[in-house]
Amino acid sequence: MSVAHRHMPSLSAWLHLSGFPCWLKLVLAGCHFHCDVVCYVHNHIFDDTSLILRKGIRHYARQGDRVLDLGTGHVGLLAVYCARAHGAQVVAVDVNQEFLENARLVARASQVPDIDFVQSDWFSRVEGTFDLIVGNIPYVPSDRRQFLRHVNDYPEVWDGGSGGTTQVRKVLTDVHRFLRPSGLFLMGLNVDCVPRDTILGLIDSSEHIELQTTLKSLISRSEVYVIAASNQA
């Protein structure tokens, strides 16, 4: 029996596999994320990692914070939520230009046109430092194709490479350089895809970052790792 089958189906699996109507996902994006999804590129609107990241943002974001959303996606969901619900100044990056153009339209419709959408390979074109960095980084191992079915045309949405950690490793290598002294990085992952010990090992092996706490979900196996720049860095 595979690891995924030992647990209850996660909310995202249910959303994607049960034929959950797209219009209902759009309504939920409006209610939960204050995001008016007037247009989209593919039908992945949010998942349970986005939901637990929202919980982290609600807890840690402060009015006026400078926030970076890593991998904002085609609707810029977390970026819109940070700007609209928490009055943050948001920079939102993605590698896919088509996603960014769509997210700009969504942000305008959601009354937060000031979000700075930047095409960037993670931090390659990011400038300055941030109070809060959030990221739903692709973490599905490349050989777990069944997870990727619903976004086959856009593998960059979920494909985390070998063991699901290729993109996570890149982000963890550089994130400390973009955090303000009391800044935090909220990294969302699903432990059915990347085991918790692997994630903790990656964080622990970096001299530049340290884990402050972990946020868990009541409805899924997605977790948020709350990471700070280490004092010795």
Q: What are the structure tokens assigned to 71, written together?
A: 């991998």
Count of CB atoms within 10 A of residue 5's CB? Answer: 8
Based on the shown chain and the rule CB under 6 A, indicate whether residue 56 belongs to the binding site for ligand SAM.
no
Residues in CB range of 14: below 8 A, 6 or more apart:
20
The residue assigned the tokens 């419709």 is 109
- Least distance from C-beta 121 to ligand SAM, angstroms? 4
Based on the shown chain and the rule CB under 6 A, indicate whether residue 94 belongs to the binding site for ligand SAM.
yes
- Least distance from C-beta 53 to ligand SAM, angstroms? 6
Q: What is the DSSP string of 32-57?
A: HH-------SSS----HHHHHHHHHH
- Least distance from C-beta 76 to ligand SAM, angstroms? 8
Based on the shown chain and the rule CB under 6 A, indicate whether residue 10 belongs to the binding site for ligand SAM.
no
Coil/strand/helix, residue 178: helix
Nearer residue to ligand SAM within complex by CB, 77 or 209: 77
Binds ligand SAM by CB under 6 A, chosen from 10, 12, 50, 222: 50
Binds ligand SAM by CB under 6 A, chosen from 138, 141, 160, 164: 138
Nearer residue to ligand SAM within complex by CB, 198 or 230: 198
Based on the shown chain and the rule CB under 6 A, indicate whether residue 99 belongs to the binding site for ligand SAM.
yes
List the one residue out of 192, 138, 133 whose CA is nearest residue 165: 138
Binds ligand SAM by CB under 6 A, chosen from 40, 57, 71, 147: 71
* Alpha-carbon span 58 to 85, nearest angstrom: 9
Q: What are the structure tokens assigned to 163, written together?
A: 């063991």
Binds ligand SAM by CB under 6 A, chosen from 37, 48, 52, 73: 73
3-state helix, strand, coil in the chain (%, to 5): 40, 20, 35
Q: Which residues between 193 and 232 bind ligand SAM (CB under 6 A)?
A: none
Nearer residue to ligand SAM within complex by CB, 143 or 153: 153
Binds ligand SAM by CB under 6 A, chosen from 156, 169, 173, 206: 156
Q: How far is CA 144 from CA 45, 55, 88, 141, 164, in A?
A: 20, 27, 36, 6, 9
- Least distance from C-beta 119 to ligand SAM, angstroms? 8
Based on the shown chain and the rule CB under 6 A, indicate whether residue 121 belongs to the binding site for ligand SAM.
yes
Q: Half-sphere exposure (CA, 13 Å, Cβ side) for 194?
A: 32
Q: Which residues bind ligand SAM (CB under 6 A)?
A: 46, 50, 71-73, 77-78, 93-96, 99, 120-122, 136, 138, 156-158, 167
